[in-house]
């Protein structure tokens, strides 16, 4: 079976500076893979290359058999590549239910066809309820986003990405800014997403990384230093050196 996502020799230079350099990254179907590395290692830039925000100066990106390298971000999203951002991108006055219904209508090309027709769109509402249930947000479906705990807001962002029915989900620090007592719960939901979705997440909290990833890629100075299972990465002296300086 071909990989869900694969890069070969992927790189981007900003002027003389190679922010991402010769990266071979593979995401298997159903992956729960962490992308770790020190600040400035190029993690967000790599995600921006994968999603098409940046065009690479070198290398290729494939999703299954299909090459994405030259495709626009929109086209990649329509092919099933979804992402969330480090910062909150929600509408504070909308409810989770309406936020997800809007995302579903956008996916289906209905755009912002406003309230009356949407309210009649029972299928979208049913799907939104099911999605909120999967992300354990169903009890909060009608609470304005601004009143949700921050961890719940981050979960809602994942729900919005899921509304596109992605095959690949790229999460840029999904637990950033989330209090510690909520971040485990957030990652439990990510771990339990359907197995046909491959997830790559950037995360700084090593407890979360080791608890919830099945594979870890370590990026240092734009290059993959090493990859492996949490057990392999945990005993790799090169990784310890990067993180602990000895």
Residues at the contact surface with ligand ADP, assessed by CB under 6 A = 14, 19, 37, 39-45
Q: Which is nearer to ligand ADP, 61 or 102 (CB)?
A: 61
The residue to which tokens 């755009």 are assigned: 111
Under DSSP, is residue 222 helix (H, G, I), strand (E, B) or coil? coil
**Residue 126 φ/ψ, nearest 5 degrees:** -65, -45
Pair 47, 202: CB distance under 8 Å: yes
Q: Which is nearer to ligand ADP, 127 or 172 (CB)?
A: 172
Provide, rounded to whole angstroms, the least separation between the CB of residue 166 and ligand ADP: 21
Q: Which is nearer to ligand ADP, 44 or 84 (CB)?
A: 44
Which one-letter DSSP state was computed for residue 217?
E
**How big is the chain by its Cα radius of gyration, in Å?**
18
Q: Please choose, from the candidates 77, 72, 73, 63, the residue with its C-alpha nearest in 3D space to the C-alpha of residue 27.
A: 63
DSSP string, 170-207: EEESTTTT--HHHHHHHHHHHHTS-TTSEEEEE---HH
Provide, rounded to whole angstroms, the least separation between the CB of residue 23 and ligand ADP: 12
For residues 142 and 66, what is the distance between their CA atoms, to the nearest angstrom?
40
Q: Which is nearer to ligand ADP, 39 or 93 (CB)?
A: 39
Provide, rounded to whole angstroms, the least separation between the CB of residue 35 and ligand ADP: 9
Q: Which is nearer to ligand ADP, 37 or 96 (CB)?
A: 37
Provide, rounded to whole angstroms, the least separation between the CB of residue 142 and ligand ADP: 36
Provide, rounded to whole angstroms, the least separation between the CB of residue 42 and ligand ADP: 4
């Amino acid at each position: 079976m071909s990989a869900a996502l694969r890069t070969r020799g992927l790189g981007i230079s900003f002027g003389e500076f190679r922010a991402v350099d010769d990266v071979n990254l593979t995401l298997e179907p159903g992956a729960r893979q962490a992308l770790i590395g020190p600040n400035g290692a190029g993690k967000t830039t790599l995600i921006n290359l994968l999603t098409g925000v940046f065009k690479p100066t070198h290398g290729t990106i494939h999703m299954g058999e299909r090459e994405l390298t030259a495709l626009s971000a929109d086209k990649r999203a329509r092919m099933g590549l979804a992402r969330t951002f480090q910062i909150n991108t929600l509408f504070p006055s909308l409810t989770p239910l309406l936020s997800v219904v809007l995302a579903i209508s956008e996916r289906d090309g209905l755009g912002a066809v406003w309230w009356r027709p949407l309210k009649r769109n029972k299928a979208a509402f049913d799907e939104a309820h099911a999605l909120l249930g999967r992300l354990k947000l169903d009890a909060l479906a009608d609470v304005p986003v601004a009143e949700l705990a921050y961890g719940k807001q981050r979960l809602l962002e994942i729900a919005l990405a899921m509304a596109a029915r992605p095959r690949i989900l790229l999460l840029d620090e999904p637990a950033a800014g989330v209090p510690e007592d909520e971040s485990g719960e957030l990652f439990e939901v990510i771990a339990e997403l359907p197995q046909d979705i491959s997830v790559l997440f950037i995360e700084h909290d090593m407890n979360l990384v080791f608890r919830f990833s099945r594979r870890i890629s370590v990026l240092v100075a734009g290059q993959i230093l090493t990859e492996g299972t949490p057990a392999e990465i945990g005993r790799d002296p090169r990784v310890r050196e990067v993180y602990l300086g000895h």
